[in-house]
Structure 1
Amino acid sequence: MHPVAEEDADVTEQTDAGAVAAGPGGVEFLAARDLLLNTREDYAAARDAFRWPRPAEFNWALDWFDTIAGRQDRTALWIVESDGSERKFSFGELSRRSNQVANWLRGLGVARGDRLILMLGNQVELWETILAAMKLGAVIIPATPLLGPADLRDRVDRGAAKHVVTTSAHAPKFADVPGDYTRIAVGGADGWHAYADSAAAAETFEPDGPTSAADPLLLYFTSGTTAKPKLVEHTHVSYPVGHLSTMYWIGLEPGDVHLNISSPGWAKHAWSNVFAPWNAEATVFIHNYERFDATALLGEMQRCGVTSFCAPPTVWRMLIQADLTALRTPPRKVLGAGEPLNPEVIEQVRRAWGVTIRDGFGQTETSVQVANTPGQELKPGSMGRALPGFEVALIDPATGAEAEEGEICLRLDPRPVGLMTGYADDAERNAEVLRGGYYHTGDVGSRDADGYITYVGRTDDVFKASDYRISPFELESVLLEHEAVAEAAVVPSPDPIRLAVPKAYVVLAAGWEPGEATALAILRFAREHLAPYKRIRRLEFTELPKTISGKIRRVELRTREEEIHAEPSPAGEYREEDFPDLKS
């Protein structure tokens, strides 16, 4: 149990008493939420009993957040800055401030259905505006502050944005972004409305009417590893209610202090820095930093009593290069998301903290679909089983039939609440991903007799070498077990005999130098740990191309391979045949 177990003992009674004011949608949501809390370590019971709430009308900010703010005043948001300063905000404070911001935005012309670009960092104004826009019925277009003018023009144009909220530091990026949109700056900027003026607005808010559950709430521009960003549309239930599955995966409870390392603008930030923790009445904990410092992060986790921690693989790989034992009281709930975690990372954390990182699989298009949930048997390499509310099928791309290995798909009868409405203004793409009674994820997995699913790779990343199917993720996992390898990406490299052979692009760990000796050590290690047909036969040391959200763009590496192998011996590439010490 977490440290606030006694305080939480009366949560159910308080919740039942306070939920009446939330309306039917809030009551239905509460019942589903409490069922998952009460079965958080009993997967079978949760799968059997859980049914998605499907209210006709629902506004999470009004019907849920404001309701819990009215009956308890725990810390909702805790922000620690890089200089050590910190601020805490209670549910009540955020409820009142979001009311003020909603009233002020309404006065500036923000109306139901308007699209609003929200480009802020991890600062309280971000959460205030999310809640305020939701109360107004505006559609939020989340945007990372890393975006440049070209990306912003695309969002204003294709997103049909009528309003923009950003900081004074980023306001100049919009100078070359045409459009008749309301400009609002935190910190103020010439020609922009000052966000600080919202403090003079009334602290009570009256909505202009009920919010239909089917009304759009979020419009995400996906990062895209292969193509131009898609516009993913979510409603007032698909993310707020859909992330009950994410709450269940993490195992969040009232009073938890949850740290999720994710940048604003991406779906994972909404998953674990808004909806999942506040569905559970937990605290969102933020540690801001100018440059990632594993030691400093571990120190703040210890000082502030973080009980739940989620990070992408890149962060986990940096953390295991630090002294994990410096965190004397590690969180009991540790998660990995964004891309599958490699077994070596999981084992190092287990040795240091005595807990196992639990994988979860989802997309911008969905909440968590498949995961290792609390209290369940964990199988090495598996990302777990289908979450309550999701029916997962593996579809053989060649036959369209269900199989033991195939594309990970969601059955649409019944349609899970935690699934997007679709891609905005893209009927052709929607028809493609929603064909045959399934939602097609584009990811491949295999399932064992107990229902555990193991990730194989993206459908466009899996390739054939000598007629064998190769999963890049499997090979990358082996490479990461070598002490010299910090990151790796495996792609097919054209070969006149085998059609293609596996090639690894490697980022070296600190203390290792690129060169023949290191290449030989890694190739020998791969030879000893992989079946002959899976062997890494070519290797190159380089930085990996990534999306702005940190996912490896293997499509760029595949394209590069086609280009460089127009020549017989590309510079910088090491091959098995270059080393007589390696037997053929």
Structure 2
Amino acid sequence: MKILLEFQALRSIWNLKSFYRLFHQDHKVFASLNLSNYEAINRCEQEVPEYFNFASDVLDQWSQVEKEEKRPSNPALWWINGQGTEVRWSFEELGSLSRKAANVLTDPCGLQKGDRVILILPRIPEWWLLNVACMRTGIIFIPGTIQLTAKDIFYRLQASKAKCIITNDVLAPIVDAIVSECQFLKTKLIISKNSRDGWLNFSELFKAAPAVHDCIKTKSQDPMTVFFTSGTTGSPKMAEHSHSSLGLGFALCGRYWMDLSPSDIIWNMSDTGWVKAALGSVFAPWLRGTCVFVHAMPQFEPKVFLNTLCTYPITTLCSAPTAYRMLVQQDLRSYKFKSLRHCLTGGEPLNPEVFAQWKSQTGLDIYEGYGQTEVGIISANLKGMKVKPGSMGRPTAPYDVQIIDESCNILPPGEEGDIAIKIDSKQPFCFFSQYIDEPGKTATTVRGDFYITGDRGTMDEDGYLWFVGRADDVIISAGYRIGPFEIESALIEHPAVVESAVVSSPDPIRGEVVKAFVVLSPSFILCNPEKLIQELQDHVKKATAPYKYPRKMEFVNQLPKTITGKIRRNELRNKEWGRI
């Protein structure tokens, strides 16, 4: 009964009287939080402040608003597990709890400002708590998907020189199997009800930790987080972001693309290992004082997903196109979404037919955004803007996005070229800082006066961007970016494989999937192709993250190569997509 009454109270904000009251209160609150200044910074109308910390300058300010305004508000975080358990934290509670978590990191764990921590957790409240705790302490957090294998985790620990890893019962044994070779790792922190030898238990330490903690003073350009990106010819790169690039860089995105306010509840389905989780589940919504809704849902289940939208007063939905492709296969008219008003997508292109089906069955448009780990949101279909199905919308501030050729000439409307961002003497503050330990790769992102995204596209006469494909060989499947190098390296470890090439292949649900062209060893006799395909797929799942395995496989006698011996993946990819 209590939960039902809370739902009714939340829904009541949509009556007209409440709308006007909240509208004026929101403007008053945003002014007191200096959000207008943050938006001006995004438009390049004001300089980035010398010091900035999202925890103290945004979250703690919202906490103060809750005390002073004394008005009904959504929680900051609303988490459910689908089995009757839920967590609701106000901004004040988030502040108090994150201070306790900060004390755990600095005292028992012995971490300090500038140390790196790898954070691999599913969608549980502690993930959000530890994100904020790291901000408060100046500790650099490195998110990772729970699908990482021992090889993946080992590489990340060694490359990042992380002093601590935080994970759960599922991945702790994998970490223990490799920890003896990780010379930089000093502390292991487990999120578990049970103790484990060699690990500090977060729950036990958290209970005893004080709730008083002074947020460390961080400069805007101090490093805050690192994301591992997929590469085409080598191991994943470490893209470093500062406190301002993520903490301030989504101010306009949250207002104009996501259309968020304190009266909204956003459900973003991104994996906690990706930058999209930072965008849609931390920075953009909390800059706007919006409630972040989370369903623990380990795997995407369309019926559970739709029932959740019918049960909870979610106003804003953000999910990958793959999810929408699966949802439109359901009878959407049999579901009644009580509060949903704004739908978002990104991470891969959205098919126009999926847009049309969703619109016809729900009456709602899907507003697509386009961005990258390194530079955030580049273009979007903003709220109130005419949506052209299949387009990525128009460039968003502060970016001047153009389609250019190899000589950096801006191409006329309709011509295909590189999607690039015009940069002046210094790059925009919302850019990533660097690829850590790889200055050469950082430098290759710039050509003349442009940052090169690595994507190909066109721009129409109205300034809308249209995605064509990757300029390199990265595969974007169900929103996951997958580099072929890791898969090819895994395949060649198998005794039956002498050589392989991995490319994207069209798929009606995932958009594109991984396909491997495999050359078998002359000594290997192929008796049962299907059995070998299954064996090779299982091998790749064990050697790298399971989502990367080749869903399609073809055995060939040889691979197309250049005169210097490099594999011509583009030729194989064009054949797959019917371009030749």
TM-score (norm 1): 0.75
Whether 1:113 and 2:114 are equivalent positions in the alignment is yes
CA distance in 2: counterparts of 1:415 and 1:560, whole angstroms: 46
Match of 1:259 among 247, 267, 281: 267
Amino acid at match of 1:13: K
1:103–1:201 contact (8 Å) kept in structure 2: yes
- C-alpha contact (below 8 Å) 1:51/1:389 kept by paired residues: no
Unaligned runs of 5+ in 1: 20-26, 37-46, 463-475, 495-541, 567-575, 577-584
d(CA) in 1 for partners of 2:99 and 2:44?
A: 33
| Selected match of 1:235 from 208, 223, 242 | 242
Deviation at 1:148, TM superposition (A): 1.5
- The aligned residue for residue 287 of structure 1 is 295
Contact 2:39 2:252 in 1 (8 A): no
d(CA) in 1 for partners of 2:30 and 2:353?
Answer: 42
Is 1:184 aligned with 2:189?
yes
Query: Which residue identity does 1:119 align to in structure 2?
Result: I
CA distance in 1: counterparts of 2:126 and 2:300, whole angstroms? 23
CA-to-partner distance for each residue in 1:376-417, whole Å, 9 max, x for gaps?
1122321110002111121112x3311133111111226322
1:382 aligns with 2:394: no
Between 91-100 and 545-554, report the one with greater CA deviation. Answer: 545-554
Determine helix, strand or coil for the equivalent of 1:153.
helix
Return the letter of the residue paired with 1:65.
L
1:308 is aligned to 2:319: no
The residue correspondences of 1:62-211 to structure 2 (distance < 5 A) are 62-72=56-66, 74-107=74-107, 108-175=109-176, 176-177=178-179, 178-179=182-183, 180-187=185-192, 188-196=195-203, 197-208=205-216, 210-211=217-218
Q: Does 1:407 align with 2:418?
A: yes
Amino acid at match of 1:83: Q
Contact 2:120 2:146 in 1 (8 A): yes
SS of 2:148's equivalent? coil
State the alpha-carbon separation in 2 of the partners of residues 445 and 168 from structure 1: 44
Aligned match for 2:454, one of 442, 457, 467: 442
2:408–2:450 contact (8 Å) kept in structure 1: no
Determine the C-alpha separation between the residues in 2 that align with 1:426 and 1:560: 36
CA 1:169/1:380 → structure 2, altered by over 3 Å: closer, same or farther?
Answer: closer
Change (3 A) 1:147 1:344: same
Task: Summarize the alignment of residues 372-521 of structure 1 with structure 2, pairs less than 5 Å apart.
Answer: 372-397=381-406, 399-404=407-412, 405-413=416-424, 415-460=427-472, 485-487=508-510, 489=512
Q: What are the equivalent positions in structure 2 for 1:317-328 lying under 5 Å apart?
A: 317-328=325-336
Secondary structure, aligned partner of 1:10: helix
State the match for 1:364 in structure 2. Answer: 373
Is the contact made by 2:74 and 2:262 (CA closer than 8 Å) also made in structure 1?
Answer: no
Alpha-carbon distance in structure 2 between the residues aligned to 1:186 and 1:487: 32
Q: CA deviation at 1:7?
A: 3.4
Which whole-Å CA distance do the structure 2 matches of 1:167 and 1:296 have between them? 24
Q: Confirm or deny: 8 A CA contact 1:33 1:279 kept in the other structure.
A: no
Q: Equivalent residue for 1:11?
A: 26
Name which of 273, 280, 283 aligns with 2:281: 273
Code of the aligned partner of 2:273: G
User: Cα gap change, 1:291/1:562 in structure 2, threshold over 3 Å: closer, same or farther?
Assistant: same
Amino acid at match of 2:74: R
Counterparts in 2 of 1:313-352, with a 5 A limit? 313-329=321-337, 331-352=340-361
Counterpart Cα distance in 1 of 2:511 and 2:286: 36
Q: How big is each residue's C-alpha offset from its partner over 1:181-213, in whole Å with a ceiling of 9 and x where there is no partner?
A: 2111111422211111123222121134x2111
Paired residues of 1:58 and 1:211 also in contact (CA < 8 A): yes
Instruction: Tell me if the contact between 1:225 and 1:552 (Cα under 8 Å) persists in the aligned partners.
Output: no
Aligned mates of 1:226, 1:309 — CA distance in 2: 35
Aligned-residue Cα RMSD (Å) equals 3.3
Task: Check conservation: 2:98, 2:132, Cα contact below 8 A.
Answer: yes
**Equivalent residue for 2:49, pick from 46, 55, 65:** 55
Task: Report the CA distance shift for 1:185/1:205 in structure 2 as closer, same or farther (over 3 A).
Answer: same
Q: Secondary structure at the match of 1:362?
A: strand
| Alpha-carbon contact 1:8-1:255 (below 8 Å) kept | no
Q: CA deviation at 1:242?
A: 1.1
Give per-residue Cα distances to partners, 1:89-134, cap 9 Å, x unaligned: 1111111000111122111311010001111111111111110110
Q: Distance in 1 between matches of 2:555 and 2:449?
A: 37
> What residue in structure 2 maps to residue 469 of structure 1?
none
Shift of 1:296: 1.5
Query: What is the rounded CA distance, in whole Å, between the counterparts of 2:44 and 2:335 in structure 1?
Result: 36
Which residue identity lines up with residue 300 of structure 1 in the other structure? T
Report the secondary structure of 2:135's partner residue: helix
Change in Cα spacing, 1:90 to 1:395, as seen in structure 2 (3 Å) is same
The whole-number CA distance in structure 1 between the counterparts of 2:218 and 2:103 is 17
State the Cα distance separating 1:368 from its structure 2 match. Answer: 0.6
Contact 1:60/1:236 (<8 A) preserved: yes
